[in-house]
A and B are shown apart, each in its own frame.
Chain A
């Protein structure tokens, strides 16, 4: 090999190493870049897809997905996993439509009962996986199954009631004809989650617990308590997302939002939060939610047959995960 080609090879290697390093260290930013690429690709394929309706819809769906993703982010950072967010969302969505029955004035009881459901399910998930030591994936799926069975017991599987017009308006009404009102919920929840994760004592403890539980314990942190609280947060956020989801859908059947367990987990991982725990950010999870929504949009723009669309969706998601989210476990 000549000196010139050796230098070129070395130069290319350095470039890819730098790209790889950038990708590994800026996962949230990568999710934003991927979202931008998807958005631009959609517009190139179909210029008409750049319209106000589309922007409003993208904001709406991203906000809804970002709420359970917030809980998922907390649990993953703490070293756990929550496959129960979809079941909790479905349960509170049913509670919302069943209680409201299309009439205003029931928001407070619905909110309080939903939060209670989220707290109970989150606590049980946390207690079983943290205190008893059952595998988080299995236990959260099993508890989710119980929550789902209860939906059928209470409703007999029959869809009943609708969200109140006022609640529906707080989600669907467009500010300036473009931005859906649901963005107001985002303005409350997003900063709150940012504060909890980045500024509060609990957030700092959560990162440390997920990163190195033994070290966290030695510093006096109640590791189990912190992890259980992360599950409770996840339950509560999923419960709230169920109310918002019911407003978006107007009606709710059993298991209506079960798919959000998968979607929120993927969005969180795309956003840079790893299964290993101790790393990740909510900004990344929001960007990951945006990626999920834009990817679905892009595939619809291609107007492909449903099976091909589903296969493509799965392949792209696997590629995205392979591309930049391969964080090594930081364990002692």
Chain B
């Protein structure tokens, strides 16, 4: 009996541990023949394309969960443009060797498209070259891949803009010489590096002084803890610059019973948008900024891959200035509003800001992705 129990529990544990990285077949309905032309890899009529979405991490990260959900929506939407696409998702759990093995497996399995949200900014050159030799369209999404030795597209959000816009607005509402706290995201992550460059540029231009720093690593608990510890330190500041997870930083003020700051931003979740409306409902208490860092960037990257597969060529000048060598295409933030827009009664995505903010679940973040046609119109000849 004991032996049987041991075997059953061991099997249960192996199953549980193996569940860390699995594949999910998104499937798709049959659709009319593809419309691609010109490329050697252009899909034949009635052919089902196989797309592999590789992700450094999904679990524990609502942004990445939304990233995959948007990817599934884009795959389904591709049918409207005549593409039959089957979808598989692979998660490396931030392990570079697992990522390599999974990419190798996708090459061996004959996938047509690989969209990779990489674990690191380098180290995949040989496997990328191998994928390209096998005729696979390989697109890097979300976090830029910085090697200049491979010829791939980097489809990423314009992170520098997010940092710059936030710092700029903070400077506008606080004024020159004011003191701010800077809570960045994850050190070493390319998106964070780009975003911090924007923050630093705006901080310098606006004449703000950073009096305390921290990192939240895109962890909501850590964001609240870091802000709480900065409050504990007794440092005097006027505003809080935070690289997302702003609602958690603000929750630290609630928990501490501390006075809200003179500025906070940026945030991009339903919780932040709703909280700021509540904070400012009886008059402006804390100016703030909402910006979109869309998880849908992966879905947009997939539509770049579809266009490439269709034999389309990129327009001139689509790469971000200064990042032409790594072929970075920066997708602009679509949603940007501040407390001033709320006061002015401006609309966001055709809705009042109250209606827009309340249409989100607390933890869901603002997302959008460019369809096959939108990508073609904006970036391809």
Contact = CB atoms under 8 A, between A and B. Distances in A.
Interface of A: 42, 46-51, 53-54, 56-58, 60-61, 128, 132, 134, 138-139, 142, 145-146, 148-149, 152, 156-162, 168, 171-172, 174, 177, 180, 248-251, 253-259, 296-297, 300-301, 303, 305-307
Contacts of A60: 255
Given A152-B59, A249-B251, A300-B230, A53 B257 contact: yes
B228 A303 contact: no
B220 A54 contact: no
A146 B257 CA distance: 37
Contacts of B220: 249, 251, 253, 256
Nearest to B15: A146
Given A138-B13, A159-B62, A251-B271, A49 B255 contact: no
Interface in B205-227: 212-215, 217, 220-221, 224-226
Contacts of A51: 232, 234
Contact of A303 (B187, B213, B232, B254): B213
Given A132-B5, A158-B363, A58 B221 contact: no
Given A142-B13, A307-B187, A300 B362 contact: no
B251 A250 contact: yes
A60 B254 CA distance: 12
Interface of B: 2, 5-6, 9, 12-13, 16-17, 19-20, 58-62, 65-66, 184, 187-188, 212-215, 217, 220-221, 224-226, 228-236, 247-248, 251, 254-258, 271, 361-364
A300 B12 contact: no
Contact of B363 (A253, A258, A296): A253
Contacts of B247: 251
Given A256-B220, A259-B221, A160 B234 contact: no
Contact of B361 (A54, A159, A254, A296): A159
Contacts of B17: 142, 145
Contacts of A156: 65
A254 B60 contact: yes
Contacts of A256: 220-221
B202 to A, nearest CB: 20
Contacts of B236: 48
A57 to B, nearest CB: 5
Nearest to B215: A306
A257 B221 contact: yes
Given A142-B17, A174-B257, A251-B363, A57 B58 contact: no
Contacts of A50: 234
11 contacts: A50-B234, A53-B256, A53-B258, A60-B255, A61-B228, A139-B9, A156-B65, A160-B363, A172-B254, A250-B271, A306-B217
Most A CB within 10 A of own CB, among B17, B187, B257: B257
A159 B362 contact: yes
